[in-house]
Amino acid sequence: MRIRTFTARTMSEALREVRAELGRDAVILGNRDTANGVEVTAAIDPQDQPETFRITDPDLGENVLPLGNAEDDDLPEEAEHLLRAIAFHGAPIEVNERLCRRAAEVNDPSVMLSLAAGIEDVFRFAPLGRPSDNALVLVGPPGAGKTIVAAKFAVESVLAGRPLKIATTDVERPGGEMRLMELAQILDNRPVRLSPGRRLEWSGPRIIDTEGVNPFDDIDIQKLRETIEINDAEPVLVLPAGGDPYEYEDIAHVFAELGVTRLIATRLDTARRIGGIMAAAATGLSFAAAGASPVIADGLHPLTPNSLARLILNDPDGAADLDEYRKLA
């Protein structure tokens, strides 16, 4: 498998170059806009010499990494499977390249394990764990799944024997706190309605659900900053799978400035592509947990390098096996 990056003024010029250099069988792994046009990364399996795996690095130029050897016909095929699966999710090229590079170095006969090693290299993992005395504030765009995550975590906290105090600052929008109020009836745990920027007076485990904000609106972000600071809380970003990778990279940077270091990925049951959340996490945020159902009782799932590898390797050409996710963690 050879990977090459082509730069050109327009996408069609870049694709013509890909065809001319690598032929019609080239697989497009990804593309991105550059200051002068567009950059396309493409791969081809050279029929005559499939034993090496070429990968480009913006700093190092082209490198050749060993992947298997000429006697073992299976490995290049597996490499192709890996590359196609990674490319399918549409994460930024740099992320895909880093995943491939480490996976190729590890070169385990199991593609899943090679990819899990790549994932360990690129992503961080910091599970939510049991509720502690630290306050968590769930932040993110509207509709990200914050309220469902708060409810799921609240249910888990009861099961773990350390019930959380729940508060919500989503008090102005009609229906914003509805799911939490439903939960109150089930758990006998009435959420506190908290105006944005106010302190939740509670010293035990607590979680604050917030109103959805526009990440690019300074006033929204400032209000959120006040809620986080006055509550001495850890802000945790909630993002649904399926979003645009470059948009999510920008969003991750905005929230990192608010002190976010952890990310909860939601809607893994309804998205086939997770390049958006991969892009957000690759900016340096740690995966804390995953949501894969709108049903509160289904709870949150831990995310590990292995479960993320399985999600990425889900059949890139067909529909994702949605039930599979539940078996992963």
- Least distance in angstroms from the C-beta of 168 to ligand GDP: 9
Pick 266 or 304: Cβ nearer ligand GDP: 266
> Does 181 help bind ligand GDP (rule: CB under 6 A)?
no
> Does 147 help bind ligand GDP (rule: CB under 6 A)?
yes
Q: Tokens 């959420």 sit at which residue?
A: 191
Query: Which does residue 78 touch among Mg ion, ligand GDP, none (CB within 5 to 8 A, set by kind)?
Result: none
- Least distance in angstroms from the C-beta of 256 to ligand GDP: 19
Query: Which does residue 41 touch among Mg ion, ligand GDP, none (CB within 5 to 8 A, set by kind)?
Result: none
* Binds ligand GDP (CB under 6 A): choice among 107, 293, 307, 314: 293
Q: Which residues bind Mg ion (CB under 5 A)?
A: 146-147, 170
Query: Which does residue 92 touch among ligand GDP, Mg ion, none (CB within 5 to 8 A, set by kind)?
Result: none
Pick 140 or 205: Cβ nearer ligand GDP: 140
Pick 67 or 138: Cβ nearer ligand GDP: 138
- The token pair at 154 is 């609240």
Query: Which does residue 66 touch among Mg ion, ligand GDP, none (CB within 5 to 8 A, set by kind)?
Result: none
Query: Which does residue 266 touch among Mg ion, ligand GDP, none (CB within 5 to 8 A, set by kind)?
Result: ligand GDP
Return the number of other C-beta atoms located less than 10 Å from residue 142's C-beta. Answer: 12
* Binds ligand GDP (CB under 6 A): choice among 23, 58, 66, 142: 142
Report the relative pairing of strands 61-66 and 37-44 from DSSP bridges.
Answer: unpaired
Pick 146 or 262: Cβ nearer Mg ion: 146
- Least distance in angstroms from the C-beta of 151 to ligand GDP: 8
Reported residue count of the chain is 329
Write a three-state SS string for the chain.
CEEEEEEECCHHHHHHHHHHHHCCCCEEEEEEEECCEEEEEEEECCCCCCCEEEEEECCCEEEEEECCCCCCCHHHHHHHHHHHHHHHCCCCHHHHHHHHHHHHHHCCCCHHHHHHHHHHHHCEECCCCCCCCCEEEEECCCCCCHHHHHHHHHHHHHHCCCCCEEEECCCCCCCCCHHHHHHHHHHCCCCEECCCCCCCCCCCCEEEECCCCCCCCHHHHHHHHHHHHHCCCEEEEEEECCCCHHHHHHHHHHHHHCCCCEEEEECCCCCCCCHHHHHHHHCCCEEEEECCCCCHHHCCECCCHHHHHHHHHCCCCCCCCCCHHHHHC
- Least distance in angstroms from the C-beta of 224 to ligand GDP: 13
Touching ligand GDP, residues 258-277 (CB under 6 A): 266-267, 269-270
- Least distance in angstroms from the C-beta of 245 to ligand GDP: 19
* Binds ligand GDP (CB under 6 A): choice among 145, 196, 205, 235: 145
Touching ligand GDP, residues 187-216 (CB under 6 A): 212
- Least distance in angstroms from the C-beta of 141 to ligand GDP: 7
Query: Which does residue 144 touch among Mg ion, ligand GDP, none (CB within 5 to 8 A, set by kind)?
Result: ligand GDP
> Does 104 help bind ligand GDP (rule: CB under 6 A)?
no
CB-based contacts of 189, cutoff 8 Å, min separation 6? 154, 158, 163, 164, 165, 166, 183
Instruction: List residues binding ligand GDP (CB under 6 A).
Output: 140, 142-148, 212, 266-267, 269-270, 291-294
